[in-house]
């Protein structure tokens, strides 16, 4: 079993990696679709805020009750962005969309986009199922 602090630290690291991966997708986009890809940066921007909040949750356990609700919203936004990217094939460059869909770069981009979506969904599931232990312990003491 992974301690909660370690889980929050891993999530902070993932948020930074996720932002860098989306940035790489944007930088490799060429042609007229660059405007569409720039919108992905607006949707990936919360990953930087999420990294800071996950880091705060790892080092300040008493602040988790305040930071977990916004993290749930950010994780939901990240998951919805991932679904949009995979369904709309926004991970492909203009040349890949017009030409050979089975190119090696296109396959790698699909695998990366799908992996990002999978980890985002796991993060969302972990945050939705997260219960603050201090709330449980406190409510148990109040009942006695």
pLDDT digits (tens, 9 = 90+) for 47-97: 889 999 999 999 988 888 899 999 999 899 888 888 887 787 766 665 566
d(CA 24, CA 31): 15
The pLDDT tens digits of the residues spanning 103-112 come to: 777 777 788 8
0.85 surpassed by pTM: no
Burial 2-36 (b: 16+ CB within 10 A, else e): eeeeebbbebbebbbebbebbeebbeebeeeeeee
Q: What is residue 22's predicted lDDT score, i.e. its pLDDT?
A: 78
């Amino acid at each position: 079993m992974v301690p909660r602090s370690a889980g929050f630290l891993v999530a902070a690291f993932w948020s930074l990696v996720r932002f860098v991966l989306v940035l790489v997708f944007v930088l490799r986009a060429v042609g007229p679709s660059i405007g569409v890809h720039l919108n992905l940066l607006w949707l990936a921007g919360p990953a930087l805020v999420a990294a800071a909040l996950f880091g705060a949750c790892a080092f300040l356990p008493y602040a988790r009750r305040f930071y977990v609700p916004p993290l749930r919203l950010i994780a939901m936004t990240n998951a919805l962005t991932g679904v949009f990217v995979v369904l709309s094939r926004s991970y492909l460059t203009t040349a890949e969309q017009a030409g050979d869909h089975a190119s090696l770069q296109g396959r790698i981009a699909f695998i990366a986009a799908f992996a990002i979506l999978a980890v985002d969904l796991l993060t969302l599931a972990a945050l939705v199922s997260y219960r603050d232990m201090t709330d449980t312990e406190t409510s148990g003491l109040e009942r006695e």
